[in-house]
Amino acid sequence: MLIGIMEAVEHHIKKQLGLGVLIGSFALLIVLALSAFLILRYRRWSYKKVRYEVNEGLVEDVSLRAFTYSQLEVATNGFVEQLGRGSFGTVYKGALSNGQRKIAVKRIDKMAAEGDLEFRNEMRSIGRTHHRNLVQLLGYCHDGPNRLLVYEYMSNGTLSNYLFKSQIKPNWEERIKISLNIARGILYLHEECETQIIHCDLNPNNILIDEQGRAKIADFGLAKLLMPDHSKTVTGIRGTRGYVAPEWHKNLPITVKADVYSFGVVFLVIICCRRSFDSNAPEGEAVLVDWVYDCFKTNEISKLVPEEVDQQSLEMMIRIGLWCIEEDPAARPPIKKVVQMLEVLSLSSNSIFDMVSTAVEAFVRWVLTKRSRGRPSSKWICLHRTCSSKCSRYFAMYNFIYL
């Protein structure tokens, strides 16, 4: 009988243990499910909070419009019409306000590891840049994994298409104007905007032309942004082949002079109305910068342009371009100096002739005066009878180019 009782107790204990294990397992599953639900809900709440803070902060900081992904999907008709593709992503054509305002939507392919904070900083920096020679940022999309930028639409497309694919190519004066537009845009990025920006990928496909023929720089601020207390950055090679400064390949610090080099190549492309590399060109002319240098050395610069232009103006343009692509970054001019020189060249041919004649005469007198008495007086610097306050600046620029 005692054995029967012990067996009954043992059976009861096993039954209770089995029931306890079952209940415990069920309770554990409930706890795990509840925990997963709470974690998921917390993450969604955190994401919405971050997204709200990013969007509200950006709107408050730079007055940019925040778009949802679905809004831009509708605006671009499902991202159908592709305008181009660059190192930062693909650009699509779209329209807002029932098709009344055309836009360009850039879908960013690769985001930095910093994620939301990096995106917010970039948007703040780009949104605060306002210049007539920069493509205007209208808004952005920060929706889940999607990062898109909304820009003004440029009807004449890229500089590359404007130079090489349009039926009516820009004339000499228009090409000088385009070059000056680009230089002014770079000057703003380097010296005038709140946060100094090195473009790092300046090339004809990142320069757009509006309906008035004005050039505007695109894709600025999507590369490395420099804080006010930084002047150099060492990073992986960026940019487009043929336009990249030599220091990128030498693992040297990258400064604003890298953009000056890229501008120099773009500048020669514009002046000569020819691509930086043409595999179909005759022997010795395939690489544009090499061909320009050879023609300059042999005094055959007239071969570089497709039309007849003032040779004196052409020579000055070629000198500026070659100066910008010096091997040593320190030997390249600051972009402000380039802007000043191009402002001179943008004048009419008669004005240039008068100015150059004045500068030559002033330079001769300056040399003679320097040999005898040291630094020339102001009356030797400006000899034009209808003198203006710009004469001394023009002389200084001419003197710098021709020494």
Does one domain contain both 203 and 334?
Answer: yes
Does one domain contain both 172 and 229?
Answer: yes
| pLDDT score of 302 | 92
Residue 36, in any domain of the structure: no
Check whether 161 has a pLDDT greater than 60: yes
| pLDDT score of 369 | 58
Rounded Cα distance between 302 and 305, Å, is 6
Does one domain contain both 323 and 374?
Answer: no
The mean pLDDT value of the chain amounts to 77
Structure tokens given for 51: 């997204």
Check whether 380 has a pLDDT greater than 50: no
Does one domain contain both 286 and 382?
Answer: no
> Are residues 346 and 355 in contact, defined by beta-carbon separation less than 8 angstroms?
no
| pLDDT score of 166 | 77
Task: Using CB atoms within 10 Å of the CB of residue 397, give its burial: 0 to 12 exposed, 13 to 18 middle, 19+ buried.
Answer: buried
What is the per-residue pLDDT across 52-92, written as a single tens digit (0 to 9) for each?
A: 444 444 444 457 888 999 999 999 999 999 988 876 788 99
Does one domain contain both 340 and 367?
Answer: no
Residue 29, in any domain of the structure: no
Does one domain contain both 178 and 322?
Answer: yes
Residue 335, in any domain of the structure: yes
Residue 35, in any domain of the structure: no
Question: Which whole number is the average pLDDT over 8-13?
Answer: 54
**Which residues are the active-site residues?**
201
Does one domain contain both 240 and 98?
Answer: no
What is the per-residue pLDDT across 87-96, written as a single tens digit (0 to 9) for each?
A: 678 899 999 8
Q: In what order do the strands lie in the sheet with 146-152?
A: 65-67, 137-143, 146-152, 101-108, 89-96, 82-85
Last residue of one domain, picked from the residues 128, 152, 176: 152
| pLDDT score of 376 | 39
Please check if 177 is assigned to a binding site: no
Residue 57, in any domain of the structure: no
Check whether 312 has a pLDDT greater than 80: yes
What is the per-residue pLDDT across 17-32, written as a single tens digit (0 to 9) for each?
A: 666 667 767 777 787 7
Last residue of one domain, picked from the residues 133, 152, 171: 152
Does one domain contain both 98 and 191?
Answer: no
Q: How far is CA 7 from CA 3, 17, 18, 20, 307, in A?
A: 6, 15, 16, 20, 112
Indicate the helix (H) or strand (E) that contains 73: helix 69-75
Does one domain contain both 92 and 180?
Answer: no
Rounded Cα distance between 35 and 249, Å, is 52
Residue 58, in any domain of the structure: no
Task: Give the residue, 369 or 337, on which the prediction is more confident.
Answer: 337
Question: Which whole number is the average pLDDT over 170-191?
Answer: 95
Residue 217, in any domain of the structure: yes
Q: Which of these ranges, 194-198, 262-266, 367-371, 374-378, has the smallest mean pLDDT?
A: 374-378
Check whether 348 has a pLDDT greater than 90: no
Does one domain contain both 178 and 284?
Answer: yes
Query: Looking at residue 184, which CATH number applies to its domain?
Result: 1.10.510.10
Does one domain contain both 247 and 315?
Answer: yes
Does one domain contain both 262 and 165?
Answer: yes
Quickly state the pLDDT bin for 34 (edges 50, 70, 90).
confident
Rounded Cα distance between 388 and 392, Å, is 8
Task: Give the residue, 16 or 232, on which the prediction is more confident.
Answer: 16
Quickly state the pLDDT bin for 240 (edges 50, 70, 90).
confident
Rounded Cα distance between 260 and 217, Å, is 14
Question: Which whole number is the average pLDDT over 228-257?
Answer: 71
Question: Which whole number is the average pLDDT over 258-280?
Answer: 94
| pLDDT score of 31 | 74
Residue 178, in any domain of the structure: yes
Last residue of one domain, picked from the residues 125, 152, 179: 152
Rounded Cα distance between 11 and 14, Å, is 5
| pLDDT score of 60 | 44
Structure tokens given for 380: 């030797």
What is the per-residue pLDDT across 98-146, written as a single tens digit (0 to 9) for each?
A: 777 899 999 987 665 555 667 777 777 788 888 999 999 999 898 888 8
Number of structural domains the chain divides into: 3
| pLDDT score of 95 | 93
Give the three-state DSSP class for 200: coil
Task: Give the residue, 6 or 64, on which the prediction is more confident.
Answer: 64
Rounded Cα distance between 126 and 116, Å, is 15
Query: Looking at residue 120, which CATH number applies to its domain?
Result: 3.30.200.20
Query: Domain limits at 394?
Result: 350-402
